[in-house]
Structure 1
């Protein structure tokens, strides 16, 4: 039987992540006891980054820890995450995970962020030691394996969280599981889920087989009232439907996604859960994003020493193999290269812009046709355009500074 969360009263999300245990009894505004919170995400800095999701997940646990809570994180151990560089230790070997009609052994490694905050990494080389983070035909299976691995790793570690905070479609199956196959599991009897939408356009849409892999095929499709989703599996939609609380990146965006214009076909579902939906503006990690102390940039500066900043522009021009000229305007973009980010519009105006004599630096990865567009521009305008087809924290910080 599928059980849905009971309604709860609206609350400020400054406490929503902490007070979302609606089914098991909402934590009162006066309850200040430390909570055990697991943050689960497909990416996080400093380990791996494809977009802004990684920045948020890297910064949030430090703030929650400062409030006195027991914070732990979980992510896949991608091939790009070097165990030696990040001092990973293996804490569990060969945990067997059920993936429909076969078993997959995974190991669990542990790293840390901030002030010794544990990061559990699910290590399954067949699924995660690949050139890219996303973009494979078996992405559904990959991230279901990851989520299953996280839940079973917690059981192995005997650490039962009060709240599991899930991010984007890659982890949307977890709230679904909490109300289906894990519903009667005593280990998770007091666990609530918070689901954060960073990018509603990427929903994790797959066919019926993914339900079998996830072990929820008996419950079938869930959106008969939405024609486009009636016969597909939308994993983000499942996260929205089953989570005890839903958050997104700003109060305004939380309102916008309730409309057909911005709701990406999930506006009907979101409106049905609007009493659980909270908008929280993303913030910066002031320790990491501080030019006065940033060890990645050439010359540190602050608001009282802006005269030092031009040295960073010079070094960025050198690294990008552009002519060093303090008088030339240097424009930059750090982004996933997709239509959603406006690169289709940029493609229409970039050549007239370059005709003004500016320099342009791009850092990011995304759709292949945008890779080719910027590569062609860099070949045609080698003294004006530089592109870094990667996500690299060191280069990103130097771009911000320069």
Structure 2
């Protein structure tokens, strides 16, 4: 049985700020079912400690020495659905009100990565594969090979590095090499870690890992270009023969309209129309929308940022709300985007509602109630929302990029194929045109809409296919 250690900065069911947490919460379970011994290591954040600490098992404490850092790390573990989770505790570094965005993030996650390697020694657990995720663990392969290269137990470890979003790279001043990583400046001078006058955790992960993956085949191709490569396209092209694009799945037990405890009425493909109707009525009542079970309801559950395409909606809001629809938005993000949706709610009373923040129960209810799920992203490495939406029979309307392009196939009224709607150009005109087309289909072609819903719910959004690709990758190295 091969052992794999997933190293990440967040993961369900414990802590989440983005799609990374969904992957960490669901993929290890599937891989364990395929015969691997997959374990996960995370920082012990304040919110995790407040909710779960009493149920954790204490493993020990080790003094972490790297660069100028000389701090203790305490280790805890628990098990969820057959997966072992380890937690690295350092109150000053991790027990804060937010996960990231601090001036000392470079120091915090340097400590975390060194603590992971010391944990392996303490537990006498040296995985066959160390699978690092995003910039927060981008230095793991380099630290293993440079600091522990003479230790045969680490020397046999292979490294996989997954890019979840290339835009977030972990870029820091070069001084951090010595102060927080205990590394020579030669790694800056030879270019292996150098990036934009400093160093990049993500670039280092790409350079030093045995294999590199990202979260959809289309995104793997896009990031080789200057347009999407975030100034790392040259190094990615250098590693392109080791770069795999493997689309994410979702936890189909957690996201299941037949058993979901958060929604008003459970349903299956057989009674999806009645199920969505009952959920829509209940949501309209609770959110103060006009009670109209037959109106087209459009939903968004997202970070509200430029990347997510929300400003396309803002610039054509009057045209969009000129259609016969209701709009429900759940999310938080950039101030201008939030202001746009507050204005929308005020101007179009009882037709639009905006919930600022994230509410897990409400997210489930939006997926179950809306007819159309909007994701007009500028770029989208994979996307989770469109997968959940299809699971609940809500048709995704997306821009053709990254994982959205790989998972959503546009409706063809002549062949009756497709599981959603899509457009290519990143423009408000194309968004409105496609939304009009979807609205017209909903009201004038109910049989076509019903067929689309069926195709969406039949789409395999589980981890099964992707887990087989990870199996192939692991066996290869």
Same fold (TM over 0.5): yes
Map 1:80-119 → 2, pairs under 5 A: 80-82=47-49, 84-85=51-52, 88-114=55-81, 116-119=82-85
Distance 1:93 1:375, change over 3 A: farther
CA distance in 1: counterparts of 2:362 and 2:232, whole angstroms: 36
CA distance in 2: counterparts of 1:154 and 1:88, whole angstroms: 22
| Pair 1:293 & 2:249 matched | no
Distance 1:86 1:352, change over 3 A: farther
Residues 313-332 of structure 1 show CA distances to partners (whole Å, capped at 9, x for unaligned) of: 23333444434332333221
| Pair 1:137 & 2:103 matched | yes
Distance 1:224 1:35, change over 3 A: closer
More helix by share: 2
Deviation (angstroms), 1:86 = 7.5
Residues 346-381 of structure 1 show CA distances to partners (whole Å, capped at 9, x for unaligned) of: 221234323435332223333344334434444454
CA distance in 2: counterparts of 1:198 and 1:112, whole angstroms: 25
Distance 1:147 1:102, change over 3 A: closer
Give 5+ residue unaligned stretches, structure 2. Answer: 370-477
TM-score (norm 1): 0.83
Aligned partner of 1:12 in structure 2 is none
| Pair 1:231 & 2:200 matched | no
SS in 1 for 2:150: coil
Distance 1:88 1:215, change over 3 A: farther
Aligned CA RMSD, in angstroms, stands at 2.4
Distance 1:207 1:379, change over 3 A: farther
Aligned partner of 1:188 in structure 2 is 154
SS in 2 for 1:337: coil
| Pair 1:68 & 2:10 matched | no
Deviation (angstroms), 1:93 = 4.3
**Which segments of structure 1 move beyond 6 Å, counting only runs of 4 or more?**
none
Aligned partner of 1:274 in structure 2 is 240
CA distance in 2: counterparts of 1:106 and 1:236, whole angstroms: 24
TM-score (norm 2): 0.71
Given that 1:222 and 1:230 are in contact with CA atoms closer than 8 Å, whether structure 2 keeps it comes out as: no
CA distance in 2: counterparts of 1:325 and 1:361, whole angstroms: 14
Aligned partner of 1:43 in structure 2 is 10
CA distance in 2: counterparts of 1:320 and 1:184, whole angstroms: 61
Deviation (angstroms), 1:54 = 1.4
Aligned partner of 2:328 in structure 1 is 361
Given that 2:264 and 2:282 are in contact with CA atoms closer than 8 Å, whether structure 1 keeps it comes out as: yes
Distance 1:145 1:396, change over 3 A: farther
Distance 1:401 1:366, change over 3 A: same
Q: In the alignment, which of 348, 355, 370 is matched to residue 315 of structure 2? A: 348
The structure whose RCO (Cα within 8 Å, separation 6+) is larger is 1
CA distance in 1: counterparts of 2:263 and 2:189, whole angstroms: 49
Deviation (angstroms), 1:218 = 3.4
Which stretch shifts more, 372-381 or 253-262? Answer: 372-381
Aligned partner of 1:79 in structure 2 is 46
Map 1:3-402 → 2, pairs under 5 A: 34-82=1-49, 84-85=51-52, 88-114=55-81, 116-212=82-178, 213-221=180-188, 224=191, 229-306=195-272, 307-356=274-323, 358-402=325-369
Distance 1:310 1:160, change over 3 A: same
Aligned partner of 1:15 in structure 2 is none
Deviation (angstroms), 1:162 = 0.7
Q: May I ask how many residue pairs the two structures share in their alignment?
A: 367
Given that 1:223 and 1:229 are in contact with CA atoms closer than 8 Å, whether structure 2 keeps it comes out as: no
Residues 119-169 of structure 1 show CA distances to partners (whole Å, capped at 9, x for unaligned) of: 112222222222222222222222222222222222222211111111111
